[in-house]
Amino acid sequence: MSGSARVLSVAVEAIPRHEAQAWRGVLEGKLKAGRRLVTLFGRRAGDAVTVTAVHQGDDGELGAERTVLDAAHGTHELTSELPALHCFERELHEQTGVRIAGHPWLKPIRFEGQPQAQMNAYPFYSVEGKEVHEVAVGPIHAGVIEPGSFRFMCLGEMVHHLEIHLGYQHRGVEALLLAREPSKLWHLVQTIAGDSTVAHGWAHASALEALAGVDVGPKVDVGRAFALELERVAMHLAGLAGLAADVGALQAGTTYGRLRTTAINTLMRLCGSRFGRGAVRPLGSGLSDSKELVALAKENLALLAKDARQIDAHFLDASLVRRRLSGVGTVTTAQAKELGLVGHAARASGVALDGRQKLREGAYHARPIEAVVQGSGDCLARGAQRIKEIGASLTWLRATLEGEVAWSAPRASLPRLAKKTLVVSMVEGWRGEVVHALETGEQGELVHAKVQDPSLRNWMGLAQAVRGNEISDFPICNKSFDLSYCGNDL
C-alpha cells in the first residue's frame, strides 16, 4: 500500500515497550544481531522521555522499539560499543535533556534553542605539541555555500583531527511541523534541504498518506520515483561539477554544470520548479504528464545520456583527476559500517545499502534500478560512484518514459489521521536515506515529527576521511561527500 517509499505504520499500543533498565540491552542485542539502526529519537513530557528506536533487517523490513526513561536517571551510552549511535545519543540528549551516562562526546548536534546564542563559545578539542597548529574555518565559507564551522587540528600539513561544528542553519523545522496544519506541512518540508526537495517531500507525503489511510496508486508512485531520480541526476552532476573544478579539470566542471542545467530545466518543464518544488504533493502529484512534455523529457534524457558518457570517460581517464583523487580521503568498508554511513558515500566504501533495492512493491520493484557499489572508499570512488549512479538513474528514467506515463493526479483533501499511530517513512535521496517519522495522539493530532537527513550520519564520515590527509585535501573530500548543513541543523 505504500509504493516505493519504505513505510512502517504501527499502532502506538503495538510498539514493543521495554523497561528502562532493559533498554540498553535490548538495543545492543538487536544491533549486534545484525539489525541496523535507522533512527532513534525522543520527546519529553515532564520528567518522562519517550524514546523510540527504529531498526532494519537485511531484508529491508523495519521494526520499532520503545521505552520511557526518567530524564534525570536516563540510560548508559552505547556509542563506545556502537559508534554509529553517536549522533542519535547526542541528539536525544540535546532535544530532551535525558541523561546519557558515560557518553564520550555529548556535543550538541545543532545547538537547538537557547544554546544557539552561545555556539561560538563552545570549546573545540585542542591538540598540543611542538608541530601542532589549528586552522579555523567558517561559519561563513569562501564560496556561495551554506555556513558551518570546521576546526582542523594539524601536525604540519597533516590533519590529525577535524571537528565539525554545525547548527548555524537551525530554523526549528521540527517544532514548526507540529505547530502548523498537517495538510500544509509539505511546503515547509520541501525546504528542509532544498537540494533534496523531492526526497524529503516524498518521505513526508508517504508518512502523511499512511496516517490518512490513502494509497495514491502505482502511477503517482512512478511519477515520484521519476522526480527523485531526476533530482539525483541533477545533484550528482552538481557535485561532479564542483569536484572537477576543485581539481582543476575545468572543462569537465563546466560540462557537468551545463548538463545539470538540462536536468533541472527538464524538472521545471514538468512541475514548474528547477528543484522539483510541487512535484510531490501529499495525496496527489504536481508532475505533468502531457504528451508534449514527456516527449521533451525523452529528448533531454537522451542528450544527457550521450553527453554524460562522453564527459565521464574524459574525466575519469584524465591522469590529473586520477592522481589527485585516488588514495585521498579514504573511508574503509569497516569504518563506513562502524560509523553508520549511508547513501552514495557508504556505497563508495563498499556498503551495499540502498533503499531502492529489496522493495516488495512500487516503481523500483516493477522496474529495478541497477545497484552500484564500489570498494576503495576514496575521493575517486565517491566521484566514480556518483558517475555510475547517474548512469543507472538515466537508464531507469529513459526506460520509464518508454512505458505508460500517467502520473498527474489532482490533490485530494486530507482525511482524518489515524489516532495513536507511529509512521516511519524512508526514501533513498541522492545523499542517502531520508527518514521522516510522524506520530499521532488521542485525537489524531500530530504529537511528534522527526526529520532525519542523511547528512546527520555522514558528517562524521567526512571527519574520518580527512584524518591523516593533507589540509589541502579537505575541499575535495568535502565536495565528494557533498553534505547538507540545513539538513543537519533542521
Partner 1 sequence: MSLLSALAVRASQGTQFIKDLRAASPQGFVGLPRITDAACPSGCAACTEVCPTQALTLNPVTLDLGRCVFCTECVPACPEQKLSFSTEPKLSATSREALFVRAGGEAALRVKASATFQKLFGRSLKLRQVSAGGCNACELELNAAVNVNFDVQRYGIEWVASPRHADALVLTGPLSQGMREAVRLAWDAMPEPRFLVAVGACAISGGLYEGARAVERSFLSEVGPALYVPGCPPHPLTFVNALLDFVGAG
Judged by the rule CB under 8 A, the positions of this chain that interact with partner 1 are 111-113, 116-117, 119-120, 139-140, 142-147, 167-172, 175-176, 184, 187-188, 191-195, 197, 238, 249, 251-252, 254-255, 257-258, 261, 265, 268-270, 272-275, 277-278, 306-307, 310-311, 313-314, 317-321, 410, 484-486, 489
- Residue with smaller CB distance to partner 1, 272 or 441: 272
Number of residues assigned to the chain: 490
- Residue with smaller CB distance to partner 1, 15 or 220: 220
Neighbouring C-alpha atoms within 13 Å toward the C-beta of 18 = 17
- Enter the DSSP assignment of 411: P
Task: State how far the Cα of 184 lies from the Cα of 424, in Å rounded to an integer.
Answer: 19
| Closest approach of partner 1 to the CB of residue 452, in Å | 16
| Closest approach of partner 1 to the CB of residue 206, in Å | 20
- Residue with smaller CB distance to partner 1, 39 or 197: 197
Of the candidates 460, 464, 465, 459, which has an alpha carbon nearest to the alpha carbon of residue 487?
A: 459
**276 Cβ partners below 8 Å, 6+ apart?**
197, 198, 201, 227, 230, 231, 267
Of the candidates 148, 141, 319, 151, which has an alpha carbon nearest to the alpha carbon of residue 247?
A: 319
| Closest approach of partner 1 to the CB of residue 200, in Å | 10
**Secondary structure class of 399 (helix, strand, coil):** helix
| Closest approach of partner 1 to the CB of residue 187, in Å | 4
Residues facing residue 135 across a β-bridge: 152
- Residue with smaller CB distance to partner 1, 147 or 444: 147
| Closest approach of partner 1 to the CB of residue 397, in Å | 18
Q: Which residue has the cell 533512527?
A: 39
| Closest approach of partner 1 to the CB of residue 262, in Å | 10
- Enter the DSSP assignment of 114: G
- Residue with smaller CB distance to partner 1, 36 or 274: 274
CB atoms within 10 A of CB 360: 10
- Residue with smaller CB distance to partner 1, 167 or 454: 167
Q: Which residue has the cell 537547538?
A: 112
- Residue with smaller CB distance to partner 1, 286 or 340: 286
Task: State how far the Cα of 213 lies from the Cα of 429, in Å rounded to an integer.
Answer: 24
Q: Are strands 421-428 and 280-281 parallel, antiparallel or unpaired?
A: unpaired
Task: State how far the Cα of 468 lies from the Cα of 463, in Å rounded to an integer.
Answer: 11
| Closest approach of partner 1 to the CB of residue 448, in Å | 18
Locate 168 and state its grid cell: 548555524
- Residue with smaller CB distance to partner 1, 66 or 281: 281
Q: Is the peptide bond before 123 cis (omega within 30 degrees of 0)?
A: no
- Residue with smaller CB distance to partner 1, 161 or 224: 224
Question: Residue 101: what residue type?
Answer: A
| Closest approach of partner 1 to the CB of residue 58, in Å | 33
- Residue with smaller CB distance to partner 1, 116 or 395: 116
Task: State how far the Cα of 454 lies from the Cα of 466, in Å rounded to an integer.
Answer: 19
CA distances from 133 to 24, 157, 334 (A): 39, 9, 30
| Closest approach of partner 1 to the CB of residue 298, in Å | 16
| Closest approach of partner 1 to the CB of residue 209, in Å | 18
Q: For residues 262 and 303, is the Cβ–Cβ distance under 8 A?
A: yes
| Closest approach of partner 1 to the CB of residue 300, in Å | 12
| Closest approach of partner 1 to the CB of residue 24, in Å | 32
Of the candidates 276, 296, 327, which has an alpha carbon nearest to the alpha carbon of residue 468?
A: 327
**375 Cβ partners below 8 Å, 6+ apart?**
333, 349, 350, 381
- Residue with smaller CB distance to partner 1, 83 or 272: 272
- The strand ranges marked E within 129-234 are 132-137, 149-155, 158-165
- Residue with smaller CB distance to partner 1, 66 or 204: 204
Task: State how far the Cα of 159 lies from the Cα of 302, in Å rounded to an integer.
Answer: 43
